[in-house]
Amino acid sequence: MPKAERGLNELYRDDPERADALVFGRRGLLKGASLAAMGAAVGASIPFAARMPAGLVPAALAQAPPAGAPAKALAMPGKANLVVLQDRPLVCETPEHMLDDEVTPNDKFFIRNNGGMPDVAADPKAWKIRVDGEVNTPLDLTVGELEQRFQPVTLKLQLECGGNGRAGFQPEARGNQWGNGAIGCAEYTGVRLKDVLAAAGLKSSAVYTAHVGADPHLSGTPGQLTISRGVRLPKAMDEHTLIVLRMNGAALPHIHGGPVRLVVPGWPGSASQKWLTRIWVRDKEHDGPGMTGTSYRVTRKPMIPGGKVDDANMMILESMPVRSIITSVAHGTELAPGTRKLPVRGQAWAGDLAVSQVEVSVDYGATWKKAQLNAPANKYAWQRWSTEVDLPTDGYYEIWAKATDANGKGQPHVVGNWNPQGYGGNAFHRVAVLVKA
């Protein structure tokens, strides 16, 4: 299960400078008593200790759960044992090692609710969606009419929460402390949003969409929107942006927005409105709940972590940053004595872009091995990668994975783009592995 990442501030709380000097040495190399102490802490010798960067907290320690706060597993019919981050609204993360499928099964798909869940539709085909605003012909369409009037499309699409990776921010940013598991790549069937908008006839004044769903506000106030986000018109008209009716060949599950939702791939999942009831086409940037202040906004220029927000320095998060995860080896895996080679694979994605390469290291980034990278099944599907790593002796290892997107931008070693609500954190994925002596 993914566990909240703790930073140096917590592990070295009393005297961080002295602790760092004692553990890593002035030159950043583990040695003598410090090496023995670190080996005891991780449960084995550390073959590549001399290459460990100064100040690095081993993944085996950094990803330990906070004292007294063990991970809570979801118990829900039809769902795997996801990690519950919040009960109200329900928010659940998928551990990275459960994301090894090429297409994420419904039971393993993460859950992100912003409010309550509406009642299950008595007749899903009678569920209505209103399309209005800057259109020539407002439409009221049932799910059944969507199926009859528009061409069905089936695509494998990534869907990722904007806060994926938030647990890596220091100081801690507001919101659910996601690891890397707020992601899934399902096979969706629906109709293109662009086709529905074309049927309504867009006015020349149309520039932005606004999405409305049936999820009730947690306050219980009638008519109060839980969240209402939107996208620029070019993204709405992308042929991969769908009004979805089916997920992995089955009717869209209620927990994932059934009977109908939007999927706006590559952008924050909050734009992919669940329990969809309305598409409001606007003549300006949408300003609904979740569109203003620091909500789903990142900095244009770096800000001081924890500092005062300059509204002029904030911009809407659109395409999600490049990320790779290791899925074939769970964090904390123990291997048989004498294991010298280990096959490793995972997934990588980069928002609107393709991934150009994935690299893997077992010596704390001193050297990197390029992995074999598959092409996506279609645009906005994640890309599977694989390689094999060498483990020269028994001991404690960390497998690191980093991806680079088509524009040459790669994942950072640590989260550096601090913003108040912790969006876009995409540091290397680190997995601790122990070859028992």
The answer as to whether 370 is a domain residue is yes
The answer as to whether 1 is a domain residue is no
- pLDDT for res 35: 78
- pLDDT for res 30: 60
The answer as to whether 413 is a domain residue is yes
The answer as to whether 188 is a domain residue is yes
- pLDDT for res 67: 46
Tens of pLDDT along the chain (437 residues) come to: 444 444 443 333 344 444 444 444 443 556 666 778 888 888 889 999 988 887 788 898 887 555 445 689 999 999 999 999 999 999 999 999 999 999 999 999 999 999 999 999 999 999 999 999 999 999 999 999 999 999 999 999 999 999 999 999 989 999 999 999 999 999 999 999 999 999 999 999 999 999 999 999 999 999 999 999 999 999 999 999 999 999 999 999 999 999 999 999 999 999 999 999 999 999 999 999 999 999 999 999 999 999 999 999 999 999 999 999 999 999 999 999 999 999 999 999 999 999 999 999 999 999 999 999 999 999 999 999 999 999 999 999 999 999 999 999 999 988 878 999 999 999 999 999 999 98
The answer as to whether 162 is a domain residue is yes
> Which of 262, 294, 316 corresponds to the end of one domain?
316
CA–CA separation, 392 and 74 (whole Å) = 38
Query: In this structure, are residues 386 and 371 in contact, taking their beta carbons and an 8 Å threshold?
Result: yes
Mark whether 306 and 340 lie in a shared domain.
no
Cβ-based neighbour number of residue 6 at 10 Å: 18
How many structural domains compose the chain? Answer: 3
The answer as to whether 312 is a domain residue is yes
Per the structure, the complete domain to which residue 338 belongs is given by 323-435
- pLDDT for res 253: 98
CATH code at position 381:
2.60.40.650
Mark whether 260 and 398 lie in a shared domain.
no
Cis, peptide link before residue 65, omega less than 30° from 0: no
- Which neighbouring-strand residues pair with 400? 361, 430
Mark whether 312 and 233 lie in a shared domain.
yes
CA–CA separation, 356 and 410 (whole Å) = 10
CB half-sphere exposure, 225, CA atoms < 13 A: 17
Mark whether 27 and 103 lie in a shared domain.
no
- Which neighbouring-strand residues pair with 344? 387
Mark whether 159 and 291 lie in a shared domain.
yes
Q: For residue 312, give every residue at least 6 positions away whose Cβ sits within 8 Å of its Cβ, in sequence order, or none.
A: none
The answer as to whether 67 is a domain residue is no
Mark whether 120 and 252 lie in a shared domain.
yes
Buried b (16+ CB within 10 A) or exposed e, 150-185: beebebbbbbbbbbbbbbbbbebbebbbbbbbbbbb
Decide: helix, strand or coil at residue 92.
strand
CATH code at position 171:
3.90.420.10
| pTM for the full predicted model | 0.91
Mark whether 172 and 23 lie in a shared domain.
no
- pLDDT for res 52: 87
Give Cα 285 distance to the centre of its chain: 25
Query: In this structure, are residues 326 and 96 in contact, taking their beta carbons and an 8 Å threshold?
Result: yes
Mark whether 269 and 346 lie in a shared domain.
no
Mark whether 124 and 196 lie in a shared domain.
yes
Burial (CB count <10 Å: 0-12, 13-18, 19+), residue 40: exposed
- pLDDT for res 11: 39
Mark whether 170 and 306 lie in a shared domain.
yes
- Which neighbouring-strand residues pair with 212? 278
Mark whether 378 and 419 lie in a shared domain.
yes
> Which of 316, 332, 353 corresponds to the end of one domain?
316
Single-letter code of the amino acid located at 64: A
Mark whether 161 and 218 lie in a shared domain.
yes
The answer as to whether 3 is a domain residue is no
